[in-house]
Structure 1
């Protein structure tokens, strides 16, 4: 009984390898995404970090505390900087505009930010921001909402995906 059952299972397993009449590569229609990537040129992308006026928190992400300064991520838009000397009344002092930013860390007064596909090291003063170093393409590109990889789209090396637009 075991031997015939094993042969049947092996035949079923190997059946997927057999060619059928319509299995030629030219007859297969590739599945395409329902979205197209929205991109920005790398040169423009790298100039998008700036200091702005304080604003209301709309969609908070991660929170990072460094001494009396609190950084609150505004999802994919940047970071709110709050002065927390008086914890009962923190003051929203400025907003660091960093499109597609999701996280930051601080070490020795250097702020490290996840900026879309890049890792950026910067220094923040009261009225200015200095980019110290940028490591390009450390993080993966943004994938489409329907699961297609960024590599599935025909994009140039200097095109940064900033979002997706529905084709429907």
Structure 2
């Protein structure tokens, strides 16, 4: 049994907790919900990395698509497998339990994910019967494990295997007597080697037979020639710092950071070389590229700092000398995607925006779909698959003027 301080610190720490504000009052009770960590040994965790029954989405994260399957990260919990054969009627078909998961990539019949500090390779030749194939342990030491808090070092043989919802009620301290905290209810029930496509907010990027993974300050290279057996090649420290995203395009890597966009050449795939950079005001910064143009969204916030909320468009005809074209004002942009002349931008609480980007100097809004806190987007057969704080939205944009939501997989805490 875990010691009491572990549970106490885990509940307090923000990385591992989902604490909801009070939503009702009854007889001087205030009701709250939080998620309590379930600890298991690493061996137990790895034994349970496999497909299981579908689950509710708690926190929609990164997305990756290959063929007719969409893979949606449920932050720190695992990956939902969604069949999009009929994109107008998406359906969850399985849930792969991967504790500590934030990023994924898919190559051929294999899914790669971070499992706390490990990289796991999962056979998804049958996504409803996925199984663990390989583990590269402690390859992501930079991932902050939440139990290292207030001077307390967690038991390194254990990790969080799952989260249990707990509903609690707090007795208001109306009279001068001690407060009481107690549980108000029980926990809820809780092939080929082609590369898939990820969203623009990803930290994992596939380019030919390599996978590149960025952290706040480094770039890791993995040889994926044998998709079932990824091999770690090298780690390069990036002097830029505050790295957030990676977007492979052509033979290059477009890396977004809070201070700018950086372009790396992969002529030698195991030794990417910096070609150039475009520096901007401090903001969060996903980036995509298409033909000779790069699109960089900047958004401000408590994490990113700065005050910029905009789209910067760059001419990258010369990769060694990106040239600024124009800035477009936005509300709070995040991820983005391009489909021919259409540019789709997740503009936070302003929703999904679809632009005509045929002329980089004169990008104009075609359609805005509000009422969704849009975070990232992948375009797939005329459908925009959008992650939001409310869940996964499917938007038919084949007629962009009349683009509409055709399906939703909601968040259900």
Verify the 8 A CA contact 1:101 1:113 in the aligned structure 2: yes
Trace 1:19-34 onto structure 2 (pairs within 5 A): none
Change (3 A) 1:35 1:101: same
Deviation at 1:128, TM superposition (A): 2.1
For the residues of structure 2 that align with 1:94 and 1:162, how far apart are their CA atoms? 18
Deviation at 1:63, TM superposition (A): 1.2
DSSP 3-state at the match of 1:92: strand
Deviation at 1:84, TM superposition (A): 0.8
DSSP 3-state at the match of 1:105: strand
For the residues of structure 1 that align with 2:115 and 2:101, how far apart are their CA atoms? 5
Change (3 A) 1:51 1:155: same
Are 1:101 and 2:101 matched, yes or no?
yes
Deviation at 1:49, TM superposition (A): 1.1
1:143-162 per-position Cα deviation (integer Å, ceiling 9, x unaligned): 448x848xx53445423366
- Aligned position for 2:144: 142
Q: Which structure shows the higher helix fraction?
A: 1
Deviation at 1:56, TM superposition (A): 2.8
DSSP 3-state at the match of 2:102: strand
Runs of 4+ off more than 6 Å: none
Deviation at 1:126, TM superposition (A): 4.6
- Aligned position for 2:133: 132
Trace 1:2-151 onto structure 2 (pairs within 5 A): 35=9, 39-124=39-124, 125-140=126-141, 141-144=143-146, 148=149
Worse overlay, 62-71 or 39-48: 39-48
Bigger Cα Rg = 1
For the residues of structure 2 that align with 1:156 and 1:79, how far apart are their CA atoms? 26
Change (3 A) 1:53 1:45: closer
Over the aligned positions, Cα root-mean-square deviation in angstroms equals 2.9
TM-score (norm 1): 0.62
Change (3 A) 1:143 1:114: closer
Change (3 A) 1:69 1:144: closer
TM-score (norm 2): 0.28
Q: Give structure 2 stretches of 5+ with no counterpart.
A: 1-7, 14-36, 163-413
Q: Which structure shows the higher strand fraction?
A: 2
Bigger relative CO (Cα 8 Å, ≥ 6 apart): 1
Deviation at 1:61, TM superposition (A): 0.8
